[in-house]
Amino acid sequence: MKLTRLRLLGFKSFVEPTDFVIEPGLTGVVGPNGCGKSNLVEALRWVMGENSHRNLRAAEMEDVIFGGSGSRPARNMAEVVLTVENRDRTAPAVFNDVDTLEISRRIERERGSNYRINSREVRARDVQLIFADASTGARSPAMVRQGQIAELIAAKPQARRRILEEAAGISGLHSRRHEAELRLKAAEQNLERLEDVLAQIE
Ligand code: ATP
């Protein structure tokens, strides 16, 4: 699964529509301090389903929307679209009929955010699972933010284990097991309720 393009609109300092094309080979982003290099990586993590505003250096999630500058008013909406090549069919099997996935996340002030895959509305969980299975998610060790190495050195063993699991590509399985356990619990509760009803009828 290859990330080929990131499109930003109103995300942090990217007030103008901006296309970031990721060509084959090594891609470097250079620029002066404060020009938005980290914002670019945060846009990538955000569209992959990052749900902690703190991990995006924001006091609340709405702060990822362009907040205005001396010459421009604030925006009310931000959108990031990530294009992912799926020719190797590494996305979940439901996407086996498509070569390209267009994953988008949009946030509006006071209305929260929503996700789409190829224009179809989906849950945050669906987007997170795509990347968890491919070990490239919002919390993936493949994306190293400033200060993260120091945090890693000081991390507790459980936190380091999570990083190893992500690198081994099994964190998606953990999420699925958790979902399956929740469904099983709900089914058990329904069964208990059914037994109560049956006992009352008898
Ligand atoms: P450095 O090289 O110092 O790490 P950088 O290129 O990584 O810098 P960023 O940290 O990505 O730069 O960008 C910081 C800039 O983004 C600041 O000028 C900040 O004002 C701007 N910024 C962040 N959030 C918003 C927002 N919601 N609206 C408008 N501008 C924002």
Backbone φ/ψ region at 169: left (φ over 0), alpha (ψ -120 to 50), beta:
left
86 annotated as a binding-site residue: no
Cβ of 38 less than 6 Å from ligand 1: yes
Q: Tell me: the pLDDT tens digits for 163-179?
A: 777 777 677 787 788 88
What is the arithmetic mean of pLDDT over 16-31?
Answer: 92
pTM: 0.78
Cβ of 35 less than 6 Å from ligand 1: yes
Cβ of 70 less than 6 Å from ligand 1: no
Distance, in Å, from the CA atom of 111 to the CA atom of 87, rounded to the nearest integer, reads 35
Instruction: State the closest ligand 1 atom to the C-alpha of 35, by its place in the atom list counted from 1.
Output: 6
Q: Tell me: the pLDDT tens digits for 82-141?
A: 999 989 888 888 888 999 999 999 999 999 999 999 999 999 989 988 887 665 666 666
Q: Tell me, what DSSP letter sits at residue 10?
A: S
Cβ of 28 less than 6 Å from ligand 1: no
